[in-house]
Amino acid sequence: MVMVMNLDLELVKQIEEICATRGVRLTPQRKTVFQLICASPKASSAYELLEQLKATEPQAKPPTVYRALDFLLEQGFIHRVESTNSFIQCCSCNAHKHYSHLLICDKCSNVIELQDDNLVALLASNAEKHGFTITNHVIESHGICQSCSSDNKE
Ligand SMILES: [Zn+2]
Ligand SMILES: [Zn+2]
């Protein structure tokens, strides 16, 4: 548990530094929403985030959360899981915008982020054969994660 807290603090420090470098403002609300996303082992919906945010900011409204999410997405700190309309922190916040392959567990909602440039290059070259230029990817796979499938065996 202590380790998780340390990790969160380190991540928050990391995004604080990135925001300072980029000259964008990490408001306390944006920071809290990011921390809430990091604290959850599964992907969080905007509704869940709003409920959690209300614990410290009772006056928080849906637009508060959506504005914070837009900012965090724009900066590449989080990813939207399109198929479940929820959010996870990026595994490499300091990287530039990238496409990730998300493995989504349908049992526990845990999301694993993979980055594979070869996969993205393959998709781009397949599309090119049809004269198609890809401007955005959603690469999501659904299934059962390792810990859920070992739970089943017991
Ligand atoms: Zn990422
Ligand atoms: Zn699972």
Domain-wise residue ranges, the chain: 1-151
Which CATH architecture describes the domain 1-151?
A: Orthogonal Bundle (1.10)
Query: 101: annotated binding-site residue?
Result: no
pTM (2 d.p.): 0.84
Nearest-angstrom CA–CA distance, 71 and 40: 19
Q: Is the pLDDT of residue 3 over 50?
A: no
Angle between helix axes 28-39 and 2-22 (nearest 10 degrees) is: 140
Q: What does the pLDDT average to over 115-124?
A: 91
> Mind listing the pLDDT tens digit for each residue in 65-107?
999 999 999 998 999 999 999 999 987 766 667 888 999 999 9
List the structure tokens of 8.
Answer: 């969160």
What's the gap in Å between 131 CA and the centre of ligand 2? Answer: 39
Point out the ligand nearest to the CA of residue 143.
Answer: 2
Q: What is the pLDDT of residue 96?
A: 65
Q: Which helix (H) or strand (E) holds 128?
A: helix 117-128
Query: 79: annotated binding-site residue?
Result: no
Query: 38: annotated binding-site residue?
Result: no
